[in-house]
Structures are given as C-alpha cells and as structure tokens.
Chain A
C-alpha cells in the first residue's frame, strides 16, 4: 500500500517537474529571443543613423563642390569674359579709327590664354582628367609641383597601379584636402608623400615637419568646423572603406597615414 502511494507521489511530482521544465524552457527561449531582438533592433537603428549621416555628408560635400565651381565660374571666368567683351568693343572702335596695333592684339591673345587657363582649372575641379590619364601618383606630383613652399617630395613608383575611377578620384580629393590643410594650418618646411602598394592596400604616408594633429583632434575639428573640407575627407574615407590615421609629432616628423583597399 505504501509502495503504491509512493508511486502516485512519484507520478505527481514527476508531472510537476515536467510542467516546471516545460515552463522554464519556453520562458527562457522567449526571454532570450526578446533580448536578442531588442539588441538587433538597436543595432539596426544605429546602422540606419550612420547611413543617414553619411548620406547627409555626401549631399553636403556635393553641394559644397557645386558652390565652389559656381563661385569659380562667377568670380574668375565671368569678369575675364566681360573684360574680353569690352576689349572687343574698344578694338572695333580702334579698327574703325585705324589705330589697332599688333601689340594690342598680342596682349589680347595672352589675355585669352589666361581665360583658357581659368576654364581649364574649373574643368579640372569638375573632373581631374590628368589623374584619370596618368594615375594618382603623377597627378599628385603634378599638383604639388605648383608649390614653392614647402618643398614637397612625392615618392613611389606605381606606374602599373590600376584603380577604379571612384577610388582614384576620392583618394585624389582626400590627398588634396590633406595637403592643403597641412600647408594652411601647420606651415611645414618640408613634406614627403610616399605611395606604397601592400597586398590589397594602397598606402599613402604623408610626413611633414609641422606640429601635426592627433586622431582625436581631427574628430573634434571635423565635428566643430563650419567648413566642409574635413567632412568631405570623412565622407570619402567612408566611401573608400579606408583608414586614416594621424600621428602627432613628438620628435621628428608628424605623419598622416592613409590605407585604401584597392578594390
């Protein structure tokens, strides 16, 4: 009799244990799933926000470049063409009077050359043809050849390097912005730009004897700056999936390292 009661007790407690086990498993799976879902949705929101921010930066950069081109056309080419129009009127009057000389015409030809240079410069801003034709190293070498101070040496023989148009143009713009900013804010005496190919990366090291900035300072400047230069660098770095690293000088040279995936 006692044995039979014991069996019933075992059945009841076994059933209760099963109920607890089932309840615990279901509760655990549901709670765990809910937690993971919440984490995922937060992560998705974060990614979306980042994408939005990037899109905003891209649009801002585009707008800034359009403004720059418009202002170049308006301020540089516009007045020159107006002056050319006035010159033409005066030439007509001089021609009628018979006072038009070859010297005046020569001066005017030089003036037209200046207009052509300006148009070329605007066109270069729109699409750097030299870069697309001769590659990133030669384009940078060509660009820095215009500077008298600081002395800028470009090293690296990457004639065979083939990059897509997007990578070339974005890298070129980033480098131009970095060179200009360094010259403007650090006033270095010397600057070396070294191009290297490492496995699937294009590495560019810019060394200069200015004070330089740290990564934290760059982030802070980019956040607080009203200009779009630093934002443009950040946007292009994201587009290139590249890594930009600033090393502030303690002793010797400051440097800026740029690692760009070639594909």
Chain B
C-alpha cells in the first residue's frame, strides 16, 4: 500500500470514527433521555432515518475494508429509498401546515415508486443511477428552503431556535447541502481521481457528524415540547 493511500485510509478512518461516534451519541441520547408521549412517533421515525444511514455507512465501511472498493450499489439504492421513506414519514409528523405536508407526501411517494420500479425491477438492484439520488437531494433541499421561506413570513410566539423543526431542517440542509457538489461529481471524480475523491468524500462524513449533532439538539428540544 502506497504512502498516499495509507494517509487517505488514516484520514478516512478518523472522520468515519467521528461520524460513528456522533451517531452513537444520538442513539444514547435517545435511549437515556426521558421521552414525552407527544411526538413519540416522530422520534422513532427520526431515529430510523439516522440509523438507516448509520448502518449503511457501517456496512459500506466494512465492505470497502474487505473488498478494497467504496462502491456497493445495492446499499446506495437501499439508502436512497430509506431516505425518501423516512422523509415521507417525518414530514407528515412535523408541525407544518397541511399543504406543505401533502406536497412532501406526493413528491417522496412518487419518488419511492419510480425509484423502486427502476432500481429493483427494471434495471436491477446492482445498477445505481446517481441522478435519481441527486434529484432526491434537490427535492429535500427545496423543501428545506421552502420551510425557511415559510418561517421567514410567519412569526410564531417563540424564537425559531427554540423550535425543534428548525433544527431538523437545518440538519437536513447541512447533511444534503454541503456535500451536494461532491455527490453530483462522484461518478466522474471516482473514475479519474480516486485518491482525491477519497479525500473529498470525507466532506460527506463530516456533514454526517454535524447532522447527528443537530438531530441530538432536535431531540433535546422535543423533550421540552
């Protein structure tokens, strides 16, 4: 193994360790925090969202360690469906106005149907089309911006930073927004500059750490609701 790859593996391991650590932190936070009955469903859906990504990341990590390859398309496909499904469930439970909820249900519902039809039936699970997952990310970012725009125009009785929905949308914004350029370019970069891509991919893991911390903040605020 060349020195360059050794450095990359060390760097990658550090960031992945942080990402796993923050995920465990969320899990422990959820486990030991006294749960209120209100929003209990929502908490379980958020946990499903966080840990579906968390376990898929872990599986990919072990897969890449054994097979010397970052790619295992079925897991990416399952991850995309799980993200869309989690968003569909979570957005329905959030205290948002009904049109917003209906729109998200339709968009994520249609996405899941089309994605499943293409990935699991027409093209097979081993085929990963990066454009579908990119569309999903854009859809989520659109809803995040829509939320911020909505909040911009409506003022509630409590400051926005005391609302757990704000932290959830901020978490989504960071998780899908920061690594957006990397994920769009992942096919190209992975084939022409694998080492550089290996480093750049850590932006994704870094945003995952932030995502976990913001979700912990959201769960903390939900406790006081």
* Chain A positions near chain B (C-beta within 8 angstroms): 4, 7-8, 10-12, 14-15, 18-19, 21-22, 25-26, 29-30, 32-34, 36-37, 40
Contacts and interface: CB of A to CB of B under 8 A. Distances in A.
Contacts of A25: 145, 148, 173
Contacts, number: 63
Interface residues of B, number: 25
Interface of B: 145, 148, 151-152, 155, 159-161, 170, 173-174, 177-182, 185, 188-189, 192-193, 196, 200, 203
B181 A33 contact: no
A34 to B, nearest CB: 6
B200 A8 contact: yes
B177 A33 contact: no
Contact of B155 (A8, A12, A26, A36): A36
A10 B181 CA distance: 9
Closest 9 CB pairs of A and B: A14-B181, A33-B160, A36-B155, A22-B177, A15-B181, A29-B148, A8-B196, A11-B181, A37-B159
A7 B188 contact: yes
A106 to B, nearest CB: 74
Nearest to A36: B155
A4 B192 contact: yes
A160 B151 CA distance: 51
A117 to B, nearest CB: 58
B159 A4 contact: no
B185 A7 contact: yes
Contacts of B185: 7, 11
A63 to B, nearest CB: 36
Query: Which of A15, A33, A40 has its CB near the most chain B CB atoms (within 10 A)?
Result: A33
Contacts of B181: 10-11, 14-15, 18
Contacts of A26: 148, 170, 173
B137 to A, nearest CB: 11
Contacts of A10: 181
